[in-house]
Structure 1
Amino acid sequence: MEERGNAEEDLAKQHRREKKDLQAKIQSMKNAVPKNDKKKRKQLSEDISRLEAELNEKHENELRQLQTSPAGVEVDEVTDAVQSLDVQEQAEGKHTRISKAQKRRDKKAAQEKERENRIAEAEVENLSGSRHQEGLKLSQKLAEKQLQIKEISSDGHCMYRAVEDQLAGRGSSLGIHELRLQTSCYMRSHQDDFCPSLPTPARGRCSLQCLQHQCSFSTDEFEKYCSDVAETAAWGGQLELRALTHVLQIPIEVIQADSPAIVTGDEYNKPPISLVYMRHAYGLGEHYNSVEPRKDAAAEEQT
């Protein structure tokens, strides 16, 4: 009796699965027929009724056969059929999962290959690009001086940070904020020297004093420029370096790739501090780095 009960339970499980499959098939058939096509909709209803009737008849026959069959004979056949169906479905499900996993692996492999191709193309482009060529030229120039580039962060303070780094090598503790403040003060007190060299402002008219000195900035605009030097991360350039060399009373040498080095403040009879000017180092534009002794040269001296 227990064996027959298990067989009936397995058969009921099979019937529920078949009904579920039929409902999915019916839904697919409905989706394939336009709602405004009355002729096809009528035929669809007839087909659905026929399929449902056939399945019901099949289930009734299987159940009747199970109930009337001797225990241990038909019961085993039905049980084996249900188990075979389960094994087949599991195998199909496993095959589907493997197939999806393989698709994911193939997609990942294709993406990785595309990424490698992009990297290779970028490397080829960089070898002939302005940034790479600039780096090669600077490395050669610095090697002649037994120097190498010391990277400075690109945050708007790069010129002042590079000067700070060079001064630290000489025992100075001046930081970027003090350097900015002293640069601003020197420019304010020497307006006639700096105002004519400043870029033309986008708006405003020059005062009489500025016109007399051929200045492109008004007094207020020049004051604003100096305030930005002292209080913001405004990028520093050649004008600020000119002010700094007088503040520090030290020559400042700027090494660049495509031109001879520019030395500001050579009237001061002291060894210059050296900066590296890079036009193509970063996407945002110009940048200053510091320098340091070449590591291989320093190692040779120690040995």
Structure 2
Amino acid sequence: MEDLLARHRKEKKDLAGELTTLKKQVSGDKKKKKEVTKQCEDKERELKERHEQEIADLEKGTNGNTAGTAESAENNDAESEDEFSPEKLLAQLELEKEQEEAASAGKKKKGPVAAEPQAAQQSSGPKPKKNRQKERAARKAAEQEAIRKQALEEAALQPDLRKIEMENIESLTKLNGTTVHDIVPDGHCLYSSIADQLAVRHEVGVDVQTLRSQCAAEIRRDKNSYIPFLFDEATMSIKDVEEYTKELEETAIWGGDLEILALARVYDCPISVLMSGRPVHRVNDEGAKEELKLVYYKHSYGLGEHYNSLRG
């Protein structure tokens, strides 16, 4: 469920960014802006309905059976074919606009048509009917191919962020004499990394659930110190401490700077986080015990942000 919810959050964030970009691109065209607004609303509604359905399917256990998997695969294929992007929507709107202008210009140029001789009309016979469905399918295929080519061209120009990050981290670990100990990317990676560090550097055996409980207790104990970390940019308000710590303790919600600081204080030690392209982030320098060392990845894992343990 947590993997699904994490994907939902990412899809919502990605869609919001795409819609914002799209609306800015058509801000000067009232007619196009109206069309874009309507399609944006449709996309938001479709995403919400799909998320609700996926959650319902997962709760009912339908995702585990063969039929459900096949149906899901078909649905995913259909979604990928109609995948939304600002460029695709703009291209579609431009095409429709060009077709309307061309049709209007054709009517003006054509003018009144002289009557043809009756014999010529009879000899010409009935005209074949156009296959509108095939025309639409061909037009859609051409649009998708144009979008695909454009995406490939743009992708070729983009830097390989994963490769850059991995190379930078490899160089940094060689310089400081550490090696990366891989942690499973399951939503608990921060806590698993700290558990590994405690075992290696402090000879303390502790599991992920214990670390989550200790972290939640520390945040509740000294609320005022941690409130700045609980500001929610989406709602422009401070998250409720009790609700946040309950979720922290009972779910696989990801950890970050707040949890790192709290656990550094619990175990009275500094914790440092190595990152690509940024200085080492270190908290609780006044801690009396040996420093725990982590490494942070932003681009190298499919689920998003990730922490590993640094040994040595």
Higher alpha-carbon Rg: 1
Q: Give the structure-2-normalised TM-score.
A: 0.47
Q: Give the structure-1-normalised TM-score.
A: 0.49
